[in-house]
Amino acid sequence: MSKNIITATDDNFQKEVIESDLPVLVDFWAPWCRPCRMIAPTVEELANEYVGKLKVAKLNTDENMDSAINYGIRSIPTLGIFRDGKMVDAVIGAVPKKALKAKLDQYLVNVTVN
């Protein structure tokens, strides 16, 4: 996994995602999920391309059910986009990188990095 991706858990979700100064892309996934494995390389590429503009986290829903339940995750992979402490959008399924970038770019406008 890329050094630019953090592992989100029920224990650190508040600090790493909700309290983040940057928008956060959370990949809700599970090891048995084939589409999750298909989109993983795209998530890694985005983590590397958006350094300083976007935080990228992966949350294993099998091990962290509370966070998944709290955000209504019913299908995986779900790529949740969080900004200012709220989930503002989500992409469900293994979508093409171009489509995911277009969705992310909507939420990265006016992002200031300290």
Q: Residues 12-69: pLDDT tens digits?
A: 999 999 999 999 999 999 999 999 999 999 999 999 999 999 999 999 999 999 999 9
> Is 33 annotated as catalytic?
yes
SS3 (DSSP) at 56:
strand
Look up the domain containing 56 and give its range: 5-107
Domain-located, residue 92: yes
The number of angstroms, rounded, from the C-alpha of 108 to the middle of its chain's C-alpha atoms is 14
**Is residue 6 within 8 Å of residue 65, measured between CB atoms?**
no
Domain-located, residue 113: no
CATH classification of the domain holding 20: 3.40.30.10
Catalytic annotation, pick one of 5, 6, 24, 36: 36
Domain-located, residue 112: no
pTM across the whole model: 0.92
Catalytic annotation, pick one of 24, 25, 33, 56: 33
Domain-located, residue 18: yes
Domain-located, residue 47: yes
Confidence band (pLDDT; 50, 70, 90) for 1?
low
> Is 14 annotated as catalytic?
no
Domain-located, residue 69: yes
**Is residue 46 within 8 Å of residue 56, measured between CB atoms?**
yes
How many independent structural domains does the chain possess?
1
Domain-located, residue 114: no
